[in-house]
């Protein structure tokens, strides 16, 4: 099967790297997505292990369509009876860009009609109850090329299950995982987030350090499908659980001025089973004293958009810049939507990457010294 993982823009390369690390074949990264080939086993593995992607889709067909008749015929040709059981719910959603077929409700209606027609001729059922498991059908139409997918994931992969509660401006878990990768978080070392909010960066760093698969705490849509082999998820879960190792010398330390955020980080770390690796304390970044020796600061400060005003946010960047003094043993990685961040932080970042935090275009400023990370062992994921 051809499998696709949509990603946040800027994270495609990291997701592709993850997929190769997990042994998936024919991995290729494109704008906002990664594709590879695999069987149901890889579907389970990808859902359970991929940290930086959004969901795992099975591609059922790709064909050109200029008219609704083309769309109807293309969808009718798919062997829907292999995927959708007699009682399953099969809602349709999707999008269209630069194409003749641009009305989404009409496309949804035609696709649904084609599927019902096909299932009708196989199951000899007139009316589908759709009371069973949900098999979400997704379509995309790009320059008149239709792609039909099944969504195996359900709620996005970023919903790990540890963060039912968040503060006002939380980072998406998949983005936080990508930021940790880019900051070269390893199985050992000290990671500090001086403005940790609900603790997402610290928790993702800790989960990576101990090799805890991000999907171990949740279920996936395809687990309920009648076509999905029953034993695959339980077997993969048991194997991945046995791969968790307490790292020798890893610690993630968080601070926040808001006592509620401190409590939230603590309880989220507990839910994620990494409370032994995450320490958190109430503190103002103005009072921050970074300990001596190698460390990595990763943080998502207020940008002056959803939290504080621009001037107050810039004051914090200035303070952060004073605390994060250049040191070949240390890395500092900060995400912000403020184009003038570097002016206030006080130094140009040797590396930066454009990332989107929700709808906000941001830059990830990476003050990384080769020496700080070159000796560390690459994360075992
Ligand atoms: C954008 S949020 C961080 C969100 C976090 N990355 C998450 O995923 O939940 C910024 C955090 O900075 C904290 N903060 C604001 N001013 C601070 C200061 N002077 N010292 C320490 N923390 C501060 C806020 O309380 C807030 O929790």
313 lines ligand 1 (CB under 6 A): no
| Residues with Cβ within 8 Å of residue 160, at least 6 apart in sequence | 173, 214, 215, 217, 218, 272
| Residues with Cβ within 8 Å of residue 220, at least 6 apart in sequence | 44, 47, 152, 153, 154, 233
Domain covering 2-151 in this structure, CATH number: 3.30.2130.30
- For 144-192, the pLDDT digits (tens) are 999 999 999 999 999 999 987 666 678 999 999 999 999 999 888 999 9
CA 74–ligand 1 middle distance (angstroms): 50
CA 280–ligand 1 middle distance (angstroms): 13
Do 92 and 81 form a contact (C-beta atoms < 8 A)? Answer: no
Q: What percent of the chain has pLDDT over 90?
A: 89
Query: Helix crossing, 200-209 with 173-182: angle to 10°?
Result: 60
Domain boundaries along the sequence of the chain: 2-151, 173-211+245-371
- For 113-150, the pLDDT digits (tens) are 999 999 999 999 989 999 999 999 999 999 999 999 99
Q: What is the pTM of this model?
A: 0.94
Nearest Cα neighbor of 73 from 84, 63, 86 is 63
Determine the pLDDT at residue 164. 73
CA 168–ligand 1 middle distance (angstroms): 9
DSSP state of 291: P
In the structure, what pLDDT confidence band is assigned to residue 377 with cuts at 50, 70 and 90?
very low
Rounded distance between C-alpha atoms, residue 272 and residue 165, angstroms: 12
DSSP assignment of 46-90: HHHH-SSBS--EEEEEEEE-SSHHHHHHHHHTS-GGGT--TT-B-
Choice from 260, 302, 338 to test ligand 1 binding pocket (greatest atom count within 8 A of CB): 302
Three-state SS letters, the chain: CEEEEEECCCCHHHHHHHHHHCCCEEEEEECCEEEEECCHHHHHHHHHHCCCECCCEEEEEEEECCCHHHHHHHHHCCCHHHCCCCCCECCEEEEEECCCCCCHHHHHHHHHHHHHHHHHHHHCCCCCCCCCCECEEEEEEECCEEEEEEECCCCCCCCCCCCCCCCCCCCCHHHHHHHHHHCCCCCCEEEEECCCCCCHHHHHHHHHHCCCCCCCCCCCHHHHCCCCCCCHHHHHHHHHHHCCCCCCCEEEEEEECCHHHHHHHHHHHHHCCCCCCEEEEECCHHHCCCCCCCEEEEECCCCCCCCCCHHHHHHHHHHHHHHCCCCCCEEEEEEECCCCHHHHHCCCCCEEEEEEECCEEEEEEEECCHHHHHCCCCCCC
Lowest mean pLDDT among 231-235, 250-254, 368-372: 368-372
CA 297–ligand 1 middle distance (angstroms): 14
| Residues with Cβ within 8 Å of residue 39, at least 6 apart in sequence | 1
Determine the pLDDT at residue 380. 52
Task: Reply yes or no on whether the pLDDT at 374 is more than 50.
Answer: no
284 lines ligand 1 (CB under 6 A): yes
Domain covering 173-211+245-371 in this structure, CATH number: 3.40.50.150
Helix (H) or strand (E) holding 260: helix 259-271
In this structure, the residue with its CA closest to atom 7 of ligand 1 is: 170
Determine the pLDDT at residue 375. 40
Rounded distance between C-alpha atoms, residue 255 and residue 93, angstroms: 41
- Burial bucket for residue 17 (CB in 10 Å: 0-12, 13-18, 19+): middle
- For 286-337, the pLDDT digits (tens) are 999 999 999 999 999 998 876 678 899 999 999 999 999 999 999 999 999 9
**Separation in Å, CA 191 to CA 55, 199, 280:** 28, 12, 12
CA 189–ligand 1 middle distance (angstroms): 23
Determine the pLDDT at residue 370. 66
Determine the pLDDT at residue 307. 64
360 lines ligand 1 (CB under 6 A): no
Mean pLDDT for the stretch of residues 269-289: 97
Beta-strand pair 330-336/250-256 = unpaired
């Amino acid at each position: 099967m051809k499998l696709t993982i949509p990603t946040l823009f800027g994270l495609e390369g990291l997701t592709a790297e993850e997929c190769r690390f997990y042994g998936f074949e024919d991995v290729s990264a494109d704008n906002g997505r990664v594709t590879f080939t695999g069987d149901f086993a890889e579907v389970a593995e990808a859902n359970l292990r991929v940290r930086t992607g959004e969901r795992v889709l099975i591609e059922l067909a790709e064909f050109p369509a200029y008219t609704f008749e083309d769309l109807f015929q293309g969808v009718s040709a798919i062997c829907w009876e292999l995927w959708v059981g007699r009682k399953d719910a099969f809602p349709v959603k999707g999008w269209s860009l630069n194409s003749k077929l641009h009305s989404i409700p009409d496309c949804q209606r035609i696709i649904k009609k084609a599927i019902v027609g096909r299932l009708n001729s196989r199951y000899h059922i007139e009316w589908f109850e759709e009371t069973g498991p949900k098999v979400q059908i997704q379509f995309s139409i790009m320059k008149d090329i239709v792609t039909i997918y099944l969504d195996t994931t359900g709620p996005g992969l970023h919903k790990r299950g540890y963060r039912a509660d968040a503060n006002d401006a939380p980072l998406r878990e998949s983005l936080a995982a990508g930021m940790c990768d880019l900051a070269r978080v390893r199985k050992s070392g000290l990671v500090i987030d001086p403005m940790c909010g609900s603790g997402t960066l610290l928790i993702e760093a800790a989960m990576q350090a101990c090799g805890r698969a991000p999907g171990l705490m949740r279920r996936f849509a395809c687990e309920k499908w009648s076509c999905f082999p029953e034993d695959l998820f339980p077997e993969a879960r048991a194997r991945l659980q046995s791969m968790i190792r307490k790292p020798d010398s890893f610690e993630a330390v968080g601070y926040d001025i808001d006592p509620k955020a401190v409590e939230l980080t603590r309880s989220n770390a507990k839910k994620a089973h990494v409370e032994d690796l995450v320490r958190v304390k109430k503190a103002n970044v103005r009072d921050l004293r970074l300990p001596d020796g190698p460390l990595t600061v990763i943080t998502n400060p207020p940008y002056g958009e959803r939290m504080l005003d621009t001037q107050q946010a810039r004051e914090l960047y200035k303070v952060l810049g004073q605390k994060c003094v250049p040191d070949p043993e240390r890395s500092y990685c900060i995400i912000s939507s403020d184009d003038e961040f570097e002016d206030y932080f006080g130094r140009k970042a040797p590396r930066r990457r454009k990332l989107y935090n929700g709808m906000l275009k941001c830059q990830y400023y990476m003050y990384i010294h080769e020496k700080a990370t070159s000796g560390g062992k690459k994360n075992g994921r």
